[in-house]
Structure 1
Amino acid sequence: MNIKVCGVTTFKQLQQLDGLEIDMAGIVLVQDSPWFAGNLLDGNEVCKADFDLKKAGILYNPTLSEALDWIDKYQLDVVQLNGTEDPSLCDDLSTEVEVIKAFLVGDSTKELEKLLADYDAVCDYYLFTGNSQSTSGVYGIAFDWAQLQTLRIEKPFFLSGDIHQHQAGAIRKFSHPDFFGPDLTRLFETAPGEKDLKTILQFRQQIR
């Protein structure tokens, strides 16, 4: 099972998560977010490092030019799009990096299934989270994972939405043929951008 940790703000955190064998680290590149790392992470330092984990840039309704600039600055492996980006942007970016498209899970999974069909050919992964009041789309809230059982997803997907350390057992038991792994966000921190490495390690050990 893969694990993605989102909200990395320092080079040291990238090194530490790589040492913990985390599969993907999310770097928030949305300027009005408390987790914005674009002025904290040195691009040259990140680019020179040899990480096993994938570096994912978290963006919200960027232009193609803005996304490409971030990809170049950090040599991103993945871009996660958290806004209302259309499939054409995903398609353009997919020639450069892997693409995660995030979706909010509301009351109607039928509408969501129709939406997924538009992105099927242009994304590598999906991410599902609960609807939140965040205007930057950086994080969501918990939702009923059972809603995904009726969906035809047919794409590796991450579960997000305030996953808690005590949900390791539920993550292990969650059964869906396309489930790729959990996305760990603010509930694995002591403060915005300050990762609780001990808790992350314990969670990793419990689900693998």
Structure 2
Amino acid sequence: MIVKVCGMREADNIRAVERAGADWMGFICYEGSKRYVATTPDYLPERSKRVGVFANASIENIRKRAHALRLDFLQLHGTESPELCSTLHTEGYRLIKVFALRSIADLKQIPPFAPYCDYLLFDTPCTGFGGSGKTFDWELLRHYDGDTPFILSGGIRPESLNELCRFRHPKWAGIDLNSGFETAPAVKDAARLKTFIETIKKTSC
């Protein structure tokens, strides 16, 4: 089970969340977000994988931020094309493409992107780009029959544990945590995260 903690920015908090056991950390490179990372933090995780989150950024900007933050993955959260994903994939970047799910029909968007993605991330629809802090209907994922593994996102918080432990899918690879563990935008409660991460990794989730 991969645990990604997104919306990181502050150096001390990054250190604390890394110690709490986050496998991946997300750094938002979209200027419209209140968790936007304008400059490279004084500390970047050494054990946790680094994920840069973009929304309709130019390929030049993506390359620049990927280099500055030494990213392990690019997460594309906008209306990026399969052609852009193909180009980035060919250049050697590892990709996560986000899909907001309202209905089964939304799953039909995936096939053109799948050959270029290492993971998909399924999230809750919202206005604009970024998280809504709400969950979507996970039952929709019973209809996902692709080969690309996925990360489950959208409104996951400490009280989501029981529901997560009931969820099953052969391609489910991990979870994405953000506002449900925040004390302020871009500041995570590392103690709550540590408890949650230890619990979910000890169970059959």
Identify whether the pair has TM-score above 0.5, normalized to the shorter chain. yes
Alpha-carbon displacement from aligned partner over 1:25-68 (angstroms, at most 9, x marks no partner): 000111121101123624xx53xx6x121100010001111100
Are residues 1:62 and 2:42 paired? Answer: no
| Residue of structure 2 in register with 1:15 after alignment | 15
What's the TM-score once normalised by structure 2's chain length? 0.92
Q: Normalization by structure 1: what TM-score?
A: 0.90
1:34 aligns with 34
Residue 152 of structure 1 aligns with which residue? Answer: 145
1:121 to 115, 120, 133: 115
Q: Give the drift of 1:14.
A: 2.4
* Other-structure match for 1:176: 169
The one-letter amino acid of 2:5's match is V
Give the C-alpha shift of residue 142 in structure 1. Answer: 1.2
Q: What residue number does 2:131 align with?
A: 139
Deviations along 1:133-184, whole A, 9 cap, x unmatched? 2x2x111331111110112132111111111111112212210001011100
Unpaired runs of at least 5, structure 2? none
Q: Is contact 1:113-1:152 (8 Å) kept?
A: no
Q: State the distance in 1 between where 2:184 and 2:40 align.
A: 16
Can you give the 5+ residue segments of structure 1 that lack an aligned partner in the other structure? none
Matched-pair contact (CA < 8 Å) for 2:20–2:191:
no
Structure 1's consecutive aligned runs of 4 or more residues displaced over 3 angstroms after TM superposition are none
Instruction: Say which of 177, 187, 200 aligns to 1:194.
Output: 187
**What is the aligned partner in structure 1 of residue 96 from structure 2?**
100
Identity %: 29
Moved more, 112-121 or 31-40: 31-40
The one-character-per-residue Cα deviations of 1:179-203 (angstroms, maximum 9, x if unpaired) are 0111001111011011011111111
Q: What is the RMSD of the two structures over their aligned residues, measured on CA atoms?
A: 1.5
